[in-house]
Structure 1
């Protein structure tokens, strides 16, 4: 679902080719990105192409990314990968630096075709947010919260978001760390205080206000709502519908996380579900719904 939000398509394989450029560190599921400069049918043809690179004073290294099977292409074993890296690296007009290069180039073979370009490896930023000063056992995992933020706001420019039932701020933290313009809100004073402390703990700047969603007066491009639940926050179907109805009022698009099937309530509030998935944690399941 996150892949579809980013790229307007998905892949059943372990790679995807797209013209959409996404920072791989945004996603908890993307491992690497190769910004393709050249492609060819053979290493000898690729050597001719990379000679066009003029790096001047920029240092570089080349790595072959075929460390595992990629779609139908079997992995290339370590000695052969090193040989390929040397062959390509030696024809580049620049200064190689295997330890601290200014730029890392990647080379990958997929289904009979070679691709060469700038390589970026993903940093698992969401892992840094696992341990917060304040936490709830029922809160979304940081990994799911990051994916949900990306589903809601795949492209950040000019988009304003709100999490009006933000709890301790798990979604807000992930969104803020990716440069998403988002505010949080909750009806419980102590929860708001905890969310603010969590946001500050990670050096982020964000706003969390106190009050129900019914008192939100501004209009947003998207709202992210993890419908409240647990022994201490049990809400009725009527209360669920009121939150959904208020979400319809304050946002053009809404991503809803729910442990119950609420399709009828969404239809009643004049929402259409444009995409959906299930997030599982052992036997516990959450539905993630993109509504417009």
Structure 2
């Protein structure tokens, strides 16, 4: 069975969200900057993954690893990079290891424009070697939308929320029934997720469609209040509506949450207000959750809920 080592980077404020995304992808999280799993994920899906190593060799010593590299053949041109910090290897030591590894491998080295990047990494316990795929910050380009909401999720948070809601994208139908300006929709569409959107506010429709078209995706959206939706899907993602001057009433919360329960078995809520009491009242079970901080005062909760069957 293949193994993959994922390299992570996140701020302290993002740590809880990053760990919830880890648990959604892999079933567990780590407190370190690395995670190893047999599950294969495109690292560009995550705003926190720096890259992915397909583990070919894992040894306790560098000498043993270099011996194994004599039996490794690659048809593409390659470049070897040693990933480490200055405490583990000096600059000159890293270059020497890379040179020895490049000479040991059966193939054509190309330091300027290689077809494949190979890496050696020391994870405090083992030396790991394998092909490396670097993450592309797709979410960053989505910041340049033609239209914005001041209260919308950041593209980085939205991308993590989509991964938390839909860790496996094959044969999964998703809806964002309070999609606003389309931040979640764009992140999901960029991953190839089958998602539709709706919103009750006619004023956002033009900007919503233009935002989606701006990135070359089909705007499968409709003007519709959540209670009017009749489609049944696997997952719903709901960033609970709010503005800076008012909050939802208790009845409005019940309406949105009970309506979501009618159309999806799994629902991921993003909220600035406590929802536990309403979720229990409506009959949803909280599976996992985290708090997302922004600065010293503003926080959101991401809450994963499920129930046994669509009503």
TM-score (norm 2): 0.89
Partner of 1:290: 304
- Choose the corresponding residue for 1:189, options 176, 181, 202: 202
- Choose the corresponding residue for 1:4, options 23, 31, 40: 23
- What is the SS of the residue equivalent to 2:104? coil
Partner of 1:120: 133
1:245 Cα deviation after fit: 0.1
- Give the length in aligned residue pairs: 286
Deviations 1:116-138, CA, capped at 9 Å, x for gaps: 00111111111101121110100
- What is the SS of the residue equivalent to 2:37? coil
Q: In the aligned structure 1, how far is the partner of 2:266 from the partner of 2:246?
A: 25
- What is the SS of the residue equivalent to 1:55? coil
Whether 2:63 is the aligned partner of 1:44: answer yes
1:269 Cα deviation after fit: 1.1
**1:17-166 paired onto structure 2 within 5 Å:** 17-56=36-75, 58-67=76-85, 74-166=87-179
1:233 Cα deviation after fit: 6.7
Query: Is contact 1:182–1:206 with CA below 8 Å preserved after alignment?
Result: no
- Choose the corresponding residue for 1:261, options 274, 277, 282: 274
- What is the SS of the residue equivalent to 1:244? helix
Q: In the aligned structure 1, how far is the partner of 2:246 from the partner of 2:201?
A: 11
- Choose the corresponding residue for 1:240, options 253, 270, 284: 253
Q: In the aligned structure 2, how far is the partner of 1:194 from the partner of 1:176?
A: 17
- Choose the corresponding residue for 2:214, options 201, 216, 222: 201
Partner of 2:6: none
Whether 2:231 is the aligned partner of 1:212: answer no
- Choose the corresponding residue for 1:272, options 285, 289, 298: 285
1:232 Cα deviation after fit: 6.6
Deviations 1:186-221, CA, capped at 9 Å, x for gaps: 011221221111011111223111111111111111
- What is the SS of the residue equivalent to 1:257? strand
Query: Structure 2 unaligned runs (5+)?
Result: 1-19, 307-311
Q: In the aligned structure 2, how far is the partner of 1:135 from the partner of 1:77?
A: 46
Deviations 1:241-282, CA, capped at 9 Å, x for gaps: 111001110001000011111101001111011111111111
1:234 Cα deviation after fit: 4.1
Q: In the aligned structure 2, how far is the partner of 1:178 from the partner of 1:85?
A: 34
TM-score (norm 1): 0.95
Query: Is contact 1:34–1:119 with CA below 8 Å preserved after alignment?
Result: yes
